[in-house]
Structure 1
Amino acid sequence: MSAGTFSYAIELRSIASPTLWLVTVAALVLLLSLDLLLTRRSRAERMGAAVGWSVFYLLLPMIFGAYLWAGYGGGVAVEFFTGFVVEKSLSVDNLFVFMLLLAAFAVPSALARQVLLYGIVGALVLRAIFILLGAAALQSGTWAFLLFGGILIVTAGKILKDVLGGHQQEVDISSMRTVRLVRRFVPVTEDYRGSRLAVREKGRLALTPLALAAVAILATDIVFAVDSVPAVYGVTDDPFLVFATNAFALLGLRALYFVLQGVLAKLRHLNHGLSVILAFIGAKLILHWAHGIWPGVPEIPTLASLGVIVVVLAVVTTTSLLANRRDRLRGAAVEEGVRDPVQEPAGEQH
């Protein structure tokens, strides 16, 4: 059996005209510029403003999805909404890692917005590069579906192994290769110097811890791009929709971070859900590849995918809330000196 039997050529088609691409990119640049202007002043984020911006950035994809539905049909809109839900759920995990990095670098709250913006811009650039690479790989043959599916299933297995093994996500900045590499070649100041990334000290250039935190977040962006781009290609093979879902998912992260800052650590089962979602999309990609070679192999419809993803996220959110409530009740019982009724032997008399 020839190698060609296992791969067939495909031609990626996009709904987007050059005008739509131009308008989308221009709107993205405008929103990022606005975000940059808002973060120029070193001050802590106000909760009211963070909530307002989070709502705004959630309304934008809803409006865009409605535009796609009216102009290109329900199928395209469902692909966009499904991809957006996938990318947004993965982005929440990104936020948790950002939170750990900001804590590890002891970034002042007044500078957190600036570091987050650097991370978001870096993520957009990196994902744009990975989207182009993914499109090129798919055009060269559907072996890329197998590769993407394999990456997602391996990643899902790793995430599940970590959570079942009780390994907590933590950040050791001294062990990060990028941080060690920067420190090796460029001196770093001991303290923060406002919002400055570099200063002149003793006649030579030195980076501030703020620059080091930005480099660390950029390094994590690369890892997240490896997972997120194949995941959304499992929903749609339209490069424009892949780019749009990533852009909309990332745009509101800065504000959403401050809204969810106290909640992120409480979503204890989020990684369980992400592992299921990534494994599911990985299987969907492999089935899609196999269907092109053996038409009898079934495919998973995009609408069904959206249903599975929403149900998984709803389940892990509910179980996280229930687990947190159970821990609060147990903690209250311990404080009152009352024995935990869950552990009390049945039928014990007092």
Structure 2
Amino acid sequence: MSELSYAADSLQSVGTPSLWAITILGVLVLLALDFLVTRRPHEVSLKEALGWSAFYIALPMAFGVWVWQRYGSDQGLDFYAGYLVEKSLSVDNLFVFMLLLAAFAVPSVLAQRVLLFGITGALVLRGIFIALGAAALQTLDFAFLIFALILLVTAAKLLRDAFTGHEQAVDITNMRSVRLLRRFMPVVHEYHGTKMTVRVDGRRALTPLALVVVAVLATDVVFAVDSVPAVYGITEDPYLVFATNAFALLGLRALYFVLHAALSRLVHLTYGLAIILAFIGVKLGLHWAHGIWEGVPVIPTEISLLVIIVVLTVVTLTSLRATRNVVPGSKEVVTERK
């Protein structure tokens, strides 16, 4: 196989029908386990969050080793690079979740249940987008160009939001999903545990938990549109695309509580994500042009992985340096995230 992820051989998916079935079953089992853990609302201790986070980080690392040994270094690098891209995008997803949880004043004991609904919704939506992306790549010659444009536009939007601080604005009353729900059903002001609806004066009403879950699911759509083209910029294999998304999302519930204070200190993460998405967009554009004229250079996965690691390392270090004199989790830190 050549150094290109998009070589003709790569169209032969790593995922056999049996491997797809095992993977999907494994994802469902892990989701069911998470729902059992959150069945009784409780505040998550750092020890619990660290334990689950370690498990969900070790799992993809071991899986990547298996892919490397079974299918070769090219597929192994594709998986690790794709996983790193999806994990970095998921961390930004967590920051949006943090803003929503704060805006809706979600009790700490219910936070992980809201996160779990968001993660489940994200998995379903990304599965749909992955299937649509695979179909587009097989039927449309210019699909790579479309993906490239999506990523470049997204990168530009991220930079705009970073400079203007637009991503900080979470106005519940102006959210379309909230306004739509309020049109059809009344909403009570108090949370009622994990209940989405309650009966008030003989009429069914929504709880604030239902509103925040719908708001989180609405943000999942936006992130699915961004993340799926990004990982298709690393590998054309639908199975690896699904696996990287699943592994990146499954551990977010626990990771949120580990990074809750640190998330607000990653003030330069948006810049880093914009650079990574723009880079992958250029990579996809070059690949599309290479199919027309072989003289157009292409970017191998090894370079992509190096760029992703360097960018994430730099923005993490600069973020920590920029917020070194601010107390983690304070409002001052959050407002500096630009």
Whole-angstrom distance in 2 between the partners of 1:166 and 1:27? 39
SS at match of 1:266: coil
Task: Give CA deviations for 1:34-58 in whole Å, capped at 9, x if unaligned.
Answer: 0000000011111100011001100
Give the residue type in structure 2 aligned to 1:194.
G
Cα separation, 2, equivalents of 1:275 and 1:129: 24
**One-letter code aligned to 1:49:** E
Query: 1:234: how far off?
Result: 0.3
Name the counterpart of 1:64. Answer: 63
Tell me, in whole angstroms, the C-alpha distance in 1 between the residues paired with 2:217 and 2:9. 33
The equivalent residue for 1:169 is: 168
In structure 1, the partner of 2:311 is 312
> What residue in structure 2 maps to residue 108 of structure 1?
107
**Aligned partners of 1:10, 1:68: CA distance in 2, in Å?**
16
The one-character-per-residue Cα deviations of 1:35-88 (angstroms, maximum 9, x if unpaired) are 000000011111100011001100000000000011100100100000000000
Show the counterpart of 1:207.
Answer: 206
State the distance in 1 between where 2:83 and 2:102 align: 28
SS in 2 for 1:199: strand
The structural deviation recorded for 1:195 is 1.0
Structure 1 residues 273 and 188: CA distance shift in structure 2, 3 A = same
Per the TM alignment, residue 205 of structure 1 is displaced from its structure 2 partner at its CA by 1.4
C-alpha spacing 1:145/1:191, structure 2 compared with 1 (3 Å): same
CA deviations over 1:73-112 (Å, ceiling 9, x no partner): 0100100000000000000000000000000110000000
Shift of 1:13: 2.8
How many angstroms does 1:211 deviate by?
Answer: 0.7
Match of 2:231 in 1: 232
Q: In structure 1, what is the equivalent of residue 151 of structure 2?
A: 152
Say if 2:185 is the partner of 1:186.
Answer: yes
Which residue number in structure 2 is paired with residue 259 of structure 1? Answer: 258
Following the alignment from structure 1 to structure 2, what is the Cα–Cα distance between the partners of residues 168 and 222? Answer: 16
Task: Judge conservation of contact 2:10–2:237 (CA < 8 Å) in 1.
Answer: no
Q: For the Cα contact (< 8 Å) 1:198–1:208, is it kept in 2?
A: yes
Residue equivalent to 2:26: 27
Q: What is the aligned length?
A: 320
| 1:151 shift after superposition | 0.7
SS in 1 for 2:198: strand
Matched, 1:291 2:294: no
Determine if contact 2:13/2:237 at 8 Å carries over to the other structure. Answer: yes
| AA partner of residue 176 (structure 1) | M
Q: TM-score, normalised by structure 1?
A: 0.89
CA distance in 2, matches of 1:23, 1:259: 29
Hey, what's the Cα distance between the residues in 2 that align with 1:200 and 1:84?
Answer: 44
Secondary structure of the residue aligned to 1:262 is: helix
Query: What pairs with 1:40-119 in structure 2 (closer than 5 Å)?
Result: 40-119=39-118
Q: Which has the larger radius of gyration?
A: 1
Can you give the 5+ residue segments of structure 2 that lack an aligned partner in the other structure? 1-7, 328-338
Show the counterpart of 1:341: none
- Partners of 1:327 and 1:103 lie apart in 2 by 20
Closer, same or farther: CA 299–154 of 1 in aligned 2, 3 Å: same
Range that drifts further, 198-207 or 250-259: 198-207
C-alpha displacement at 1:189, in angstroms? 1.1
Among the aligned pairs, what percent are the same residue? 63
Residue pair 2:158, 2:274 contacting (<8 A) in 1 also: yes
1:163 Cα deviation after fit:
1.6
Q: Secondary structure at the match of 2:213?
A: helix
Is contact 1:12–1:139 with CA below 8 Å preserved after alignment?
no
Residue pair 2:10, 2:236 contacting (<8 A) in 1 also:
no
SS of the counterpart of 1:298?
A: coil
- Which residue in the other structure is 2:332 paired with? none
Partner in structure 1 of residue 222 of structure 2: 223
Give how far 1:162 is off.
2.1
Q: Is the 8 A contact 2:41 2:110 kept in 1?
A: yes
Letter in 1 for 2:173: S
Change (3 A) 1:10 1:206: farther
Deviations 1:142-190 (A, max 9, x none): 3111111001101101111222235452311111111100111111111
User: What is the DSSP-based 3-state SS (H/G/I as helix, E as strand, rest coil) of the residue aligned with 1:206?
Assistant: strand
Residue by residue over 1:14-40, the C-alpha shift from the partner in whole angstroms, topping out at 9 and shown as x without a partner, is 111111111111111111110000000
